[in-house]
Each structure stands twice: as structure tokens, then as C-alpha cells.
Structure 1
Amino acid sequence: MKRYQGLKAMRITVSVAVAAVITLLWIEYSDLVLGAMGWIEHTQIIPAGMALSGVTILFWLVMTALFGRIYCSMFCPLGVVQDVAARLGRMSRKGSRRDYHYSPPMTRLRYCSLAVVAVCLFTGLLIIPAILDPYSMYSAFVLNVLKPVWGWVNNAVAAFGVYTGWWTVTYVSVITASLFGIALSVVSLAGVAVSAWLYGRPFCNTFCPVGTVLGIVSARSLWHIDIDTDLCTNCRKCEHACKAHCIDLTDHVVDGSRCVGCFDCLTVCPNDAIFYRPDRKQLSLPMMQSLDSPEIGRASACSGTSASASMNTDTKGMKNALNTISDETISRTS
């Protein structure tokens, strides 16, 4: 739908801007960005939870209850990494291999991951939350990998300026993390990026504790993705565009607990049959059902058999009654 192109463009613009600011917060050495945009770090959920900032958590719970998981689509820097990787992955494939498909929710895995993170936070074992929290994972990669590289580039430019006399750039002190910290940051982010390259955004609906918490709230959010079954032709373009694998066209249902609010499905429907709205479309003919399922087929067959048996019984009864009347008529005549 063209009406949702602007909504998708806004989502992309906001998410890229937030990711860029967070990257600059961790990569720069002058604290210039930190002084101007440091507040944006306080919008992240797990750091807010560790700091016992109830205002931030309450804010995102309310926003999710109203509009769905917009945090995942606009304010999560790891979400931008996954979106870029997923986009490049689809571009590298051809034909039907580019399409996503519906998959059942991994509810047990999601809740188990959330329980592990919660226990670790309460017991002070922060390494597991640091690995699974999307903001911590991204910021650790920037701090351990990108920031030292940026510092070395800065010092190389400064040295070249001193050698040529063309400019003056301040040298910075580059501090590197341990090899374990660097390896953990690279492996964690690479694992998420590869999974996004292949499957879209599976991390958001499996191991991500933030996605699980917000998913519980967004399952019945006010504004949500809804399919008009009277207009839908089952072309499956929305399903093939869904990075969260949450559009079930068998029942024309979108799993709100897993929808990450990317709005990609809204812009690909050729029949204007999918919406982002506060109400839910009801079938205009609710009694009409598909006969494709075996249960309905068996029920229809049983009904047909019962009806046939009933008709046979009625026919035999009519024949017996006619024979009785005929016999009585003959006996009176004789």
C-alpha cells in the first residue's frame, strides 16, 4: 500500500539515526557527542533495568501496548544490523529462495532465555545478559572493535599531518580490550548477523530477552497489523516479506507477540488487504469455512453418510406403508 510507504520510511530514518548516535557515543574520544546526545542511552531497556529506572521501562511498556514493538524496529541498534544483513541476504538470493515463510513460535525457548537472563541479573552474573541483550551486544562490539580501529585511524591521520605540515589532529590514547572480549564481541554480533542474513530476524523472537518481554505486551497491542480476509487473495507476498515469520495466511492471523513492526508487509500487498490499525476486521460471512482441512472433510463425510442413511430408512418406511395399504385394498375388494 502506498499509504504506508511514509510509515516505513519513518521507521528506517529513525532506526538509522538512533544507531548512528549510539555508535558515535561509544566510538568517539572527545565526549562531544556524549554531552549532546548522551540521553539516548537511557532509552535502552536492559541498561534501564540494571539502573532500576522504572520510568524508562514503564514508558516502553506503554508504547508497546499502544503501538506494538516499535522499540525493536526503531530504537534497537542491533535491529538495524539485522535489517541490513537481512536485506543483503535477500539480495544475494534468487527466486523463491528470497522469500520468508511462516514458522510456529518457539515459546519455550523464548521464556527459558528470558528466565536465564532474569536470574543472572538478580544474582549479579552479568556476562549472560551482556551477551543476549541487544544493546549490550552492539555497544560491546563498538567499544571493543570499532573504537580502537577509529583511534588508530585518527593517530595515523595525526602523524601524517605532522609529517606533511598540512593539518593538526590531536592524538588519542587507544585502549584495547582483552582477546577474549574482542572474540566474544565479534562472535556474538557475527552470529546474529549471519542468522539475519539467512532467516531475517530470528534472534528477536528466540534468545532476545527484550523481544520476549515486549512480545508479551504487544500480543494484544492497540495498533497492530491486521489482514482483511474479504480482500486477501492469498498471494502470500506479505508472508514472504515478513522477517519475523509471524504471518499465518492459513488462518489470516498475524502473531502480534512476534511482529517487530518493520512494516515491510504493508508496502507489498497488491490488494490493499493488510493494515496497521486499532480495530480488527471481522469476516463478512463468518459461517463460511474452507473444506480443505481433514477435520472438516471428515465431518462433511459423516454428515453426508448420516443423511444418506436417514433417506434410505425413510424410503423403506414409505414402501412398507404403501404395501400395507395395497394389501388392505385387495382384501376388501375380494
Structure 2
Amino acid sequence: MMDAAVAERNLTLVNRDAVRDKTLRRFLIGDRVFKTITQVSAVTVLALLAGVIAALVHGSLPAWRAFGLDFLITEKWNPVTEKFGALAPIYGTIVTSTIAMVIGVPISLGIAIFLTEICPERLKRTIGTAIELLAGIPSIIYGIWGLFVFAPWFQSHVQPFLIDTFADVPVLNQLFAGPPYGIGMLTAGLILAIMVLPFITSITREVFDTVPPVLKEAAYGIGCTRWEVLRRVVIPFTRVGIIGGVMLGLGRALGETMAVTFVIGNAHKIFPSILAPGTTISAAIANEFTEATGDLYTASLIALGLILFFITFVVLAAARLMLMRLARQEGR
């Protein structure tokens, strides 16, 4: 009887070990498959990125051979004489994106702070949903609304006021000079600010919600005001996420095409006034790529795409360096 019991126990242990070994092998195979899939995905992304860069460089070579680095500092853009320069689109891209971020970032942060710290519970869902719906509106709808609704109102009410108000102020009288066209770089910047607002607001709101309540309660407990809690607790705790949201909005502003094309005026000129028409890299490519008949014309447009890629890369790299610096400071 004892021998049978021992034999049965040994058999049970053997079966258990076999099941465990089989399970471990299955897990090991699954881990290897998962690791291989992730590695292939990462390499595929890098390969696609390298392919995009190679295609842009190869396609833009005729323009670089013809104009050299003068392409970057030349304003003239004449398809008839095949004289091209990227300075005006670069200038327009930087100016409109700057306007969008200067206006959109404070408003987005204010909305996120209101929703997380001040807004009554019954209104949070409604306002939050409305903000998120703005992100789902196609850019061409923003462009049509900007051209037929916002630009006429802006031309009639806002631009004359800006021109008259700053007429006697040095520097600003140049920045807000000229006839009220309605369309222009300021109009495009305002439309971009509306477009980037839901992205920055949503991300900032989410990171604000990650702040542990005990930190805010402790700050209130020692007598801090709501503003002091936001400035000394919430914002320092979430600044990495805030910067990430701002960079996402800036990327959207730099690459936006259709909405800007409708309202910027599409003029390859550099004017000191932000009320004047202009163009951006993406708008120039969208407007003229189908009309580019010569090889040099096409290569110049592709070179604009390469420049936009480089600008975006520099912006993201700068944001990454900033985040790394903040992480080192937190470590100290």
C-alpha cells in the first residue's frame, strides 16, 4: 500500500513538472515571438523614416544643385523663369506657428486648469466633450469657416481696430500695418490656435488629473491659495506632460495645410506686417505641386518638404533635450 501511494505521488509530481515545463516553454515561445514582433516594428519605423528622408533628399537634389544654400535665403519664387527660394514659406511657417502657440497655449492651459480645479462636476463632461469634438473637425472645415465667416468679420471689426490703435506706436505700427485684407498671416495664426487648442487642452487636462490628491490637500492644509497650489504643486509635477502637449500642438501647427491655405493669402512675399498675406511650406506644396511641370519646379517643392521635415525634427529634438534637462534637474 505504501509503495503504491509513493508511486502515485511520484507520478503526480512528474506530471506536475511536465505541465509546468510545458507552460514555461509556451511562455518562453510567446515572449520570443513578442520580442521579435516589437523589434521588427521598431526597425520598420526606422526604415520608413530613413526611406522618407532618402526620397526627399533624392527628389530635391536638382534644386540644391541649381541654387545651393541660397535656396534658403532667397525670397523670389518665379516658376516662369525657374527661380525659386524658400525664405518666404519658411518665414510664414515660423510666424503662423508662433502666433498659434502664443495664443493657443495660455488658453489651453487655462481651460485645462478650469476643468480640473474649478469647474463644477456637472459641467466637466459637457465642456470636456465639446473641447475634444474640436479635434475631430476636419481641417478643411476650419479653412472654409475661416475664409467665409471668420476672415470677413476679422476684416471689418478687428483689423481696422489694430491698425488704428498701433498707428503711432513704434515697431507695432509696422507689425500691424497695411490695408485690412481679412486674410493674412495673423488670420492663419488664429485659425491654427483654434486647431491646436483641443490637443493641448486634452493632454494637459489628463496630466493634471494624474497629480495625487494628497499633494494638493497637503498644500491647502498649510494655507496655500489655489494659485499657489497650481504654481508650486500641479504645474511642477506635470511640466513634462505639459511640454509634450505643447510640442504636439506645435507639430500640428507646423504641418497644417488646408486650413492655412484657405486664409493665409498664398503670396510668396515677406511683409513686416502680420496682417499681410503670406504662405507656408505646406500651403505652397499643396497649392503648386499639381502645377509643377518642370523637374526643377518639382524638385524645389520637394526641397520645401525636406526643409519642413528638418524644422519639425529640430523642434522635437529641442523638446527632447529640454525634457532630459528637466529630468536631470529633478534627479539633483
Calculate the TM-score normalised by the size of structure 1.
0.28
Q: Could you say which structure has the higher helix fraction?
A: 2
Calculate the TM-score normalised by the size of structure 2.
0.28
